[in-house]
Amino acid sequence: MRSALFVGLLLLGCASTDSQARPATADPPRWNQLDTRQRETLALFAERWDRMPPARRAQLLQRYRRWQELPPERREQLRDGIENFREMSPEQKQQMRRSVRSVHNLPPEEKQRLREQWRALTPEQRRAWLKAGGPGIVPPP
């Protein structure tokens, strides 16, 4: 089941965003100033890019740079997690969002402790934790 992997990736992602500086908002590039690879990757935003607030464009560019720095295996794991999320029921998605919000609001030390606990669990234990409410909502099994 990929939902366990997805939550694990979200747990890791929460920590990485906390340690990153906020994106700079001064003059992010317009759509026609992006290079070809950036435009291909960010094509979903093409029609509205120039109308977005500068802070949002800067944030997307920061995420694009982080994505490019990931190893191919990690990108594939994240793609699998995104696809898995799309296939979840509305109730499962809501539970996932509650868990992610809860983890996001934890202090960095607590997030690290949760990541370590997650890594130590078997896939069956991870599924049980998710079914019970997930990281940040209920303690691990």
CA 12 to chain centre: 8
- Asked whether residue 27 is domain-assigned, the answer is yes
Per-residue pLDDT of the chain (141 residues; tens, 9 = 90+): 444 444 444 545 544 444 444 545 478 999 999 999 999 999 999 999 999 999 999 999 999 999 999 999 999 999 998 898 899 899 989 988 988 899 888 999 999 998 899 899 998 998 888 888 888 888 888
Question: 141 in a domain, yes or no?
Answer: no
Of 99, 119, 23, 101, which Cα lies nearest the Cα of 66?
Answer: 23
Decide if 117 is inside a domain. yes
Detail the DSSP E strand segments found in 1-141.
none
Domain presence at residue 78: yes
d(CA 23, CA 63): 9
Residue 137 counted as domain residue: no
The number of beta carbons lying within 10 Å of the beta carbon of residue 139 is 10
User: What pLDDT does residue 109 have?
Assistant: 94
Amino acid at 13: G
Instruction: List CB contacts of 62: < 8 A, sequence separation 6 or more.
Output: 20, 23
Asked if residue 139 belongs to a domain, the reply is no
Which residue has 């992610």 as its token pair? 100
Would residue 138 count as lying in a domain?
no
Domain residues for the domain of 125 are 2-132
Is this structure's pTM higher than 0.85? no
Residue 102 in domain: yes
Total of domains in the chain: 1
Instruction: Give the whole-angstrom CA distance, residue 10 versus residue 82.
Output: 10
